[in-house]
Chains A and B, each alone.
Chain A
Amino acid sequence: DAKTTQPTSMDCAEGRAANLPCNHSTISGNEYVYWYRQIHSQGPQYIIHGLKNNETNEMASLIITEDRKSSTLILPHATLRDTAVYYCIVRVARGSTLGRLYFGRGTQLTVWP
């Protein structure tokens, strides 16, 4: 039940910004955009989420277009440890805390030295 589209793979030089795109053209007004990543079969790790405003935390920035049909996750200074599969997920946040997460194939980001 994936509602997002992401490129299969991307690469990035260490120290440079990694910009990971995601299309979610059917997103509803009450759905948030979440980003998780999974490093080599470890448990998925939460990165960031947002509704319509751009968000920033210590890990990344999230840029959501005005029409909310797409977003970009930005890792400002990628390191080798950022090599992982990145998942863009849309789901309702408030009033639906029981909701499952639907994981697609994600984007394999490879950071090279």
Chain B
Amino acid sequence: EPEVTQTPSHQVTQMGQEVILRCVPISNHLYFYWYRQILGQKVEFLVSFYNNEISEKSEIFDDQFSVERPDGSNFTLKIRSTKLEDSAMYFCASLPGRAADTQYFGPGTRLTVL
């Protein structure tokens, strides 16, 4: 069964450094999402992406964040200058978009900012 994959599974970085989290959505899916989950807290929506542009973003997704689909398979989340409070699990999700309702989530990347 096709699945969303994410790399790396765990990323450790120093405060102020840039990080790029990578996702490979399910082939032929058209809509892509990033969510995050701070330890012990709720899963929070960050951004949705369709047709090579951001469709919707939350208040969390400020100028430090950006997303890109650099080729036909990868979907990336970049944090330009990480802060301690960016430490969280980051989940990528994708959606077929053709009369389909289900977002499929990846296993997540644990980001630790020191």
Residues of A within 8 A of B (CB): 32, 34, 38, 41-46, 49, 87, 93-94, 97-105
- Which single member of B58, B91, B95 contacts A44 (CB below 8 Å)? B91
What total of A-B pairs shows CB separation below 8 Å? 55
B4 interface contact, C-beta 8 A: yes
Residues of chain B within 8 A (CB-CB) of A43 are: 4, 91, 93, 105-108
Q: Does B55 belong to the interface (CB within 8 Å)?
A: yes
The 8 closest A-B pairs by CB, nearest first: A43-B105, A100-B45, A103-B43, A93-B101, A46-B102, A98-B55, A44-B105, A43-B91
B31 touches A (CB below 8 Å) = yes
Contact B56 A98 (CB under 8 A): yes
Q: How far is the CB of A20 from chain B (nearest CB, A)?
A: 17
> Helix, strand, loop or mixed for chain B's interface?
strand
Q: Which of B4, B43, B106, B108 has the most CB of A within 10 A?
A: B43
Q: Which residues of B contact A97 (CB under 8 A)?
A: 31, 95, 97, 100-101
In contact, A103 and B42 (Cβ under 8 angstroms): yes
A32 x B107 contact (CB < 8 A): no
- In the complex the two chains form, is B45's CB within 8 Å of A102's CB? yes
Give chain B interface residues in 36-84, CB to chain A under 8 Å: 37, 42-45, 48, 50, 55-56, 58
Contacts of B99 in A (CB 8 A): 94
Contact present for A41 and B58 (CB under 8 Å) = no
B108 lies within 8 A of A41 (CB): yes
CB <8 Å contact, B48 and A98: yes
Q: Which A residue sits closest to B6, measured CB to CB?
A: A43
Within the complex, what minimum Cβ distance (angstroms) separates A56 from chain B? 16
Whether B43 pairs with A49 at a CB distance below 8 angstroms is no
Name the residue on B nearest A87 (C-beta): B43
**Residue B7 is within 8 A (CB to CB) of chain A in the complex:** no
A46, B104: Cα distance in complex, Å:
7
> Which residues in A have their C-beta under 8 angstroms from that of B100?
97
- Enumerate chain B residues within 8 angstroms of A94, measured Cβ to Cβ: 99, 101
